[in-house]
Structure 1
Amino acid sequence: MAGRQDTQRVRIRPTTVGHTRWRTSKRGAGQAPSLAENGEAVSEAAEVIQEPISVRAAVGFFAGQVGGLTALAYYVGYVQTGATLRYFGVPSSLVEFSTAQYVVRAAGSALSPIMLAGFLTAIFALIHPQLVGALQKKSPLIRRRILGTITWIGLCQAGTAAALAFGVAGYVPNPAVFWLLLAAGLAVSFYGLALRARTYTGRHDSFGPVAQLAVVALILGALFGGLSIYLQERGTKVARAVSLSLESQPYVRVLSASPLSVSGPGITEIQLSGEEGAYQYGYEGLVFLIRSEDRHFLLPREWAPGAPVIVLVEQEGIRFEYYRAPGW
């Protein structure tokens, strides 16, 4: 019927990132919405949709970064603590630390890897735009040669590092370096291939998800391999430093109502006077190592490799007294 007004759905594409918004307008069939109507809808979409999405994106990004850093700090604390305990002959399975405790213990060790990762990321963020701009000014042949050179440099570096890491890693001063070089070589070769694919095909996913996942898994595996070796060496160094400065550790006196049969180099058992006292035996010559749940890990004051680590459990009839070493 002539003059009939139909309800028409108009699809609005806002210039900002957000969901597609539909609005209903009454207009004659076949008539397009006016510019004023379109501008009004875009303004409403930007005002209503943009802010919640940006807030959700910021919260999601922050939560993801915090979760990733917490997991990394937990891994750092777990590996280093295990290496420190193994130096004293204590199985890491005997220690039950919470996630927060592992994160706190990793505060010093995780600082160097995080700073290195941040430094490399900043360098990449500065170099990448300059490299892309320089390549755009070159001829196609020169671009192909430059990107091919970058790819081959990365592959040669990764191959050499892999041969050294798997072949003679036990005879080099720091085998973690070769794992990090392997990860760097894989990253450089993947970057060269990705940049070449983007330059000639205009696509970011020319390798396919399976190939990308495989390369990322190899890079992460090499990074964690090098990080694991670094943390084990650092944990051993921390243990050696503790063993060489036991006089600076907190001293421990253990009082007991019954004999505990605690012995070791420098440990003395003292029978306390007074038959009516709650504690009849005392043990001197102990220093603090760690505490996990209700277990106290103590070292003889004259500990040396081969000497035992004393593990005592908190229970009725036993008291622990901690005090500062003389001169500290």
Structure 2
Amino acid sequence: MAGSGSISATKRSAASTSAPQQAPGAAPTERHPSAEPNITNWSDKVKGLLAIAPPVTLITALLLWYGYVATLQRFRYFGVDLDLTGLSNQSLLLYGAETVYPVAALLLLALLGVTGLHLAVRWLLESPHHLFVRTLAAICATGGVLLIARALIGMLRPVVAETETPGVTPLSLAVGAPLLVYGGWMARRVAVQAAGNREPSWWTGSFAARMEGIAIVIAVGVLATGLFWTANTFAAAYGTGRAEFDAANLHRRPQVALFTRDALPVIPAGVTCNDLGQGVKHRYEYNGLRLLLASDDRLFLVPGAWTADASTLVVPYDDSIRLVLFPNSPRSGVQRTRC
């Protein structure tokens, strides 16, 4: 029992030694909460959102959408709706793949540049020149406000969106909101460092930290929306340009001689028809066609010289027709009686 009492006394003595001693009559020591109770970097604040849609997933979805819209506009130029083609998902991916390389390169370069700038800001915050970040924060916030204002003008005044360079309004929206929030983030970090261990103000306290996290999540959402909108605008313009290139280079596509049992009710401009006479199973021969697309047991044929009044011929790929494909050089043959 004596040993037990000695151990208890030793524990009480150690506890009293480790506890800070308050001088008699002294005022209680005030302890303020930390100016930044949960200082986290930019990526930590959005980790909840990134768990749902990480950057790779967002970029992949953006590129797939870009390829789809570009392919849609490419065939629409020839009067063919993409749903009518019956292209499989794999075929759509292949058609869209050739359009996404420039966009993928630009996105990755932009991501690399933003990462480098953020690292530079982090270095400035930890250097003796951290007050210079205030100037950068003011520039970013001002630029963000101006870009958001430009985006709102484009959204609220349709005439501006119709006459502007494609992508200005959505790109202003995609860049403006994150730039504004990032400027606020930099300004607040400078204020937190300047406050040190002093009592936090509303700008450096926990409430502002929570509001900052919410603002970052909203900015990421606006960024994603603006990027998809921008991709939609650029993809439509790119698809139309790709279709115009295809129309100007139809001579590179296979030339088609189409033989049918029955005469076609409508013949595209620039296409000739030859009647091979009775007794021939596939009596009607059509020349001057180029193969645009073969999909879902159908052939999409266009005239060799595409004009504004041209049209696309869609025929079933079955026993009712016969095809003869020729090299890119013009076909020479026997002239027959015209239809």
- Taking structure 2 as the reference length, what is the TM-score of the superposition? 0.67
Cα–Cα, structure 1 residues 299 and 260, in superposed 2: closer, same or farther, change >3 Å? same
Contact 1:278 1:317 in 2 (8 A): no
Deviation at 1:79, TM superposition (A): 0.6
> How many angstroms apart in 2 are the aligned matches of 1:214 and 1:145?
24
2:196 paired residue number: none
User: Does 1:185 pair with 2:176?
Assistant: yes
Deviation at 1:70, TM superposition (A): 4.8
1:157 to 143, 147, 153: 147
Deviation at 1:115, TM superposition (A): 0.9
Greater shift in the superposed pair: 159-168 or 94-103? 159-168
Contact 2:66 2:100 in 1 (8 A): yes
Give the counterpart letter for 1:170 in structure 2. Answer: E
> How many angstroms apart in 2 are the aligned matches of 1:293 and 1:242?
21
Greater shift in the superposed pair: 223-232 or 313-322? 313-322
User: Does 1:318 pair with 2:321?
Assistant: yes
> How many angstroms apart in 2 are the aligned matches of 1:222 and 1:230?
12
Cα–Cα, structure 1 residues 215 and 69, in superposed 2: closer, same or farther, change >3 Å? closer
Contact 1:252 1:323 in 2 (8 A): yes
User: Does 1:176 pair with 2:167?
Assistant: yes
1:246 to 228, 250, 274: 250
Cα–Cα, structure 1 residues 73 and 175, in superposed 2: closer, same or farther, change >3 Å? closer
Greater shift in the superposed pair: 207-216 or 91-100? 207-216
User: Does 1:306 pair with 2:309?
Assistant: yes
> How many angstroms apart in 1 are the aligned matches of 2:224 and 2:123?
29
* Bigger Cα Rg: 2
> How many angstroms apart in 1 are the aligned matches of 2:59 and 2:140?
31
Give the counterpart letter for 2:296 in structure 1. Answer: E
1:74 paired residue number: 64
Partner SS, residue 106 of structure 1 = helix
Give the counterpart letter for 2:221 in structure 1. Answer: A
> How many angstroms apart in 2 are the aligned matches of 1:202 and 1:148?
21
> How many angstroms apart in 1 are the aligned matches of 2:135 and 2:55?
37
- Deviation per CA, 1:270-307: give whole Å up to 9, x if none: 233683x5433222111111222112111122331122
Greater shift in the superposed pair: 227-236 or 160-169? 160-169
Greater shift in the superposed pair: 144-153 or 217-226? 144-153
Cα–Cα, structure 1 residues 326 and 300, in superposed 2: closer, same or farther, change >3 Å? same
RMSD, matched Cα: 3.2
Deviation at 1:67, TM superposition (A): 5.5
- Deviation per CA, 1:171-204: give whole Å up to 9, x if none: 23x2313422331222211222234445535989
User: Does 1:113 pair with 2:103?
Assistant: yes
**Which runs of structure 2 are paired with 1:1-328 in the superposition (5 Å)?**
70-138=60-128, 143-144=133-134, 146-164=136-154, 166-167=156-157, 168-172=160-164, 174-197=165-188, 200=192, 206-207=210-211, 211-272=215-276, 275=279, 278-326=281-329
Contact 2:185 2:212 in 1 (8 A): no
> How many angstroms apart in 2 are the aligned matches of 1:106 and 1:154?
33
Deviation at 1:68, TM superposition (A): 5.0
Give the counterpart letter for 2:119 in structure 1. Answer: P
Deviation at 1:219, TM superposition (A): 1.5
Cα–Cα, structure 1 residues 146 and 91, in superposed 2: closer, same or farther, change >3 Å? closer
Total equivalences in the alignment:
265
Contact 1:164 1:178 in 2 (8 A): yes
Structure 1 runs not aligned, ≥5 long: 1-60
Q: Spell out structure 1 runs of 4+ moving beyond 6 A.
A: 202-205
> How many angstroms apart in 2 are the aligned matches of 1:129 and 1:308?
55
Contact 1:154 1:185 in 2 (8 A): yes
> How many angstroms apart in 1 are the aligned matches of 2:270 and 2:119?
64
Contact 1:253 1:322 in 2 (8 A): yes
- Deviation per CA, 1:211-242: give whole Å up to 9, x if none: 44432222122112221111111111122222
> How many angstroms apart in 1 are the aligned matches of 2:330 and 2:258?
21
- Taking structure 1 as the reference length, what is the TM-score of the superposition? 0.69
Contact 1:74 1:102 in 2 (8 A): no
> How many angstroms apart in 2 are the aligned matches of 1:321 and 1:225?
44
- Deviation per CA, 1:35-87: give whole Å up to 9, x if none: xxxxxxxxxxxxxxxxxxxxxxxxxx9xx777655533431222112212222
Contact 1:267 1:284 in 2 (8 A): yes
Contact 2:181 2:215 in 1 (8 A): no
The structure in which a higher percent of residues are strand is 1
